[in-house]
A and B are shown apart, each in its own frame.
Chain A
Amino acid sequence: MDEMEKTILDYVIEEYLEEEDEDEVSIDSPLISSGIVDSFSMVSLKTFLERKYNISIPDDKATPDAFDTVKSIANVVRGFVE
């Protein structure tokens, strides 16, 4: 897990999970398809990423598939940071 993945994972755990469920999520855990993060909550996640990395993610790149795991989210973000 690299630093970006850890940052995103920590944020997901902090914002979307109860404290007792922290160990249940990894960078490969499905977030959207499992219902941990629903499509409405994706907006706040996208906002966090844009602020944190000073990027703008077009809506067509912020899809439920692209945001389904921490790993895939980090891949999306890297595409805009570099």
Chain B
Amino acid sequence: MSNIGSYDEVYDKFDWQQAKNELEYKDGDILNIGWFCSDRNCERGLGDKPAMIWEGFKGEIKRYTFNELRLNSNTYAAYLSSLGIKNGDRVCIFMDKIPDLYFSFIGILKLGAIAQPLFSAFGEEALHTRMENAESVAILTTRKHFRKVRRIKDTLPALKHIIIVDDDSLKLEDREKSFILEKAEQIEHFDIFPSHEETSSVLHYTSGTTGQPKGALHVHASIFAQYMTAKWVLDLTDDDIYWCTADPGWVTGTSYGIIGPWCLGITQVIYDGGFGAAKWYDVLQRHKVTVWYTAPTAIRLLMKDGTELVKQHDLSALRYMCSVGEPLNPEAVHWGIEAFDKPFNDNYWQTETGAIMIANYPGMAVKPGSMGKPFPGITAVVLDLKTHEVITEPNKVGLIALKPGWPSMMREYWNNKKVFDSKFIKGWYITGDRSSIDPEGYFWFVGRDDDVINTGGHLVGPFEIESALLEHEAVAEAAAVGKPDPVNMEVVKAFVALKSGYEPDGDLELSIMNYIRKKLSPLAMPQEIEFMDKLPKTRSGKIMRRLLRAQEWGEEIGDISTLEDD
């Protein structure tokens, strides 16, 4: 019997008060996500229960109970407090998926500061953009990554503390310091910051079509949605061993790699290694993972190694699997059934929504290719693309829109009210994705409504890529679009016009690719560069990205009446 039981019965009756009741929270109480994820579990008698089973890529394993999570996060909170970091300060976490990432995340929340996780593969420019915009006060990082921060710190006047957590033998410069958890005095009691529902908690940057990435700011009330969705969509129960493969640099890795499972008191596996099919099955087998939350790109990579490899492992403990990041194609759903005797259950949400919005549920028939139905408490519709009126006709494509007010809805884009306000039209939050709804109420993703590129389940904004391309010495004009890819759904393709004196050749293409990879991230790196004499532009000089994209996807080019004549 699943946690949710009958979806239809639950959907009709649900109220978010249920989450509050189950978490034993009353309006006006202190609400602190860090406390719920650690201390509360200890008070519930789960202090000795494993919270984290961490495995490194070399096979080393470390286990931490909820009591150790409590103590280690207290210690981080106390240390950061001793530096003068206070409520509302943005504290970045920039490291691989090591235990310190998780302890510090919880510690930052306990302090009442704002956790700002950053993907560990970000290059200097990607780091700088996000840290400058947020005026981040501190960054926790490691020996492997701190030099990127060192190289940009002089242009980040708000940054006061660069804290290296795994090496205290380095020759440190101004504002740099080291903090080794194992050497620090363990803090038994930390005065949790008296946060309330609207106290800011987590800041995740996400890409849009125009401008640089925006910081979606979340609050402690998001826990009500993360708790309920982890319970009903991921179906997590007390005895589960859960593995979320997402990196906490992305919202899945915090909402469902930290907050969701731990506020439920669930043991989770954290694997700090790259992708490898055999290795991943080995992790599933050895740790007897029961619930697995991963991504379509990973699933499609696993498919390449076939079902035989799966069958060589004892995955009898694995009872439920979910997927997120981009629509899970029907072929992948069918393969999951063939390989694991059960489907991957797709679900849909965004950085801005903070928690799962539309999903498949245990006990509900999976329609391969569909993201499922709205979560209880979520009103989801599709709006006419032009009028923004609700479409009632089944199977007609429109913009996915959500009725605002769910607990984990972002409260703002950091310092960007104008763009935040633009996300709401006629009382609806506009996701930027297109979908249809079939007669049974299942949502079917069609595509983005804008130029944002979804590659490997992560959104990258063309503006950020184009801005970086223009900084390359050889580039005069640039456009970045998504092109189809069988594994990643889309990958970045750049169109480039060169400055005089530069010749388009393979070496220059590789040079530009590596330039973007190191400046921004591997995700943003164009996997193909097409050199053109000049890019198609409107008469007002705006590059017509959609024309280039349409060509890549074999779509109708549409209205080109504004195209600049040759």
Which of A21, A34, A51, A64 is the one whose CB lies under 8 Å from B507?
Answer: A51
Q: Is the CB of A68 within 8 A of B301?
A: no
What is the total of A-B residue contacts with beta carbons within 8 Å? 79
B57 lies within 8 A of chain A by Cβ: yes
Q: Is the CB of B57 within 8 A of A34?
A: yes
Q: In the bound complex, how far is the Cα of B514 from the Cα of A60, in angstroms?
A: 23
Q: Is the CB of A39 within 8 A of B525?
A: no
A47/B509 contact (C-beta < 8 A), A35-B274, A65-B276 known: yes
Specify the chain B residue showing the minimal Cβ separation from A42: B522
Q: In the bound complex, how far is the Cα of B274 from the Cα of A68, in angstroms?
A: 10
A28 lies within 8 A of chain B by Cβ: no
Q: Is the CB of A33 within 8 A of B527?
A: no
B107 to chain A, nearest CB (A): 24
Q: Is the CB of B147 within 8 A of A64?
A: no
A82 lies within 8 A of chain B by Cβ: no
B506 lies within 8 A of chain A by Cβ: yes
- Chain B residues within 8 Å of A7, by CB: none
Q: Is the CB of A39 within 8 A of B510?
A: no
Specify the chain A residue showing the minimal Cβ separation from B505: A51
Q: Is the CB of B301 within 8 A of A39?
A: yes
Which of B144, B278, B304, B517 is the one whose CB lies under 8 Å from A44?
Answer: B517
A38 lies within 8 A of chain B by Cβ: yes
Which of A20, A33, A47, A65 is the one whose CB lies under 8 Å from B273?
Answer: A33
Q: Mark A16-37, 1 if CB is under 8 A from B, else 0.
A: 0010110000000010111111
Q: In the bound complex, how far is the Cα of B56 from the Cα of A33, in angstroms?
A: 10
Q: Is the CB of B522 within 8 A of A32?
A: no
Contact residues, B237-279 vs A (CB, 8 A): 272-279
- Chain A residues within 8 Å of B488, by CB: 40
B456 lies within 8 A of chain A by Cβ: yes
A56 lies within 8 A of chain B by Cβ: no
Specify the chain A residue showing the minimal Cβ separation from B96: A35
A55 lies within 8 A of chain B by Cβ: no
Q: In the bound complex, how far is the Cα of B277 from the Cα of A15, in angstroms?
A: 25
Q: Is the CB of B57 within 8 A of A64?
A: no
B530 to chain A, nearest CB (A): 14
Specify the chain B residue showing the minimal Cβ separation from A14: B514
A50 to chain B, nearest CB (A): 8
Contact residues, A54-77 vs B (CB, 8 A): 60, 63-65, 68
B72 to chain A, nearest CB (A): 23
A interface residues with partner B (beta carbon < 8 Å):
15, 18, 20-21, 30, 32-41, 43-44, 47-48, 51, 60, 63-65, 68
Chain A to chain B contacts (Cβ below 8 Å), 9 pairs:
A38-B121, A40-B523, A41-B517, A43-B525, A47-B506, A64-B274, A64-B276, A64-B301, A68-B276
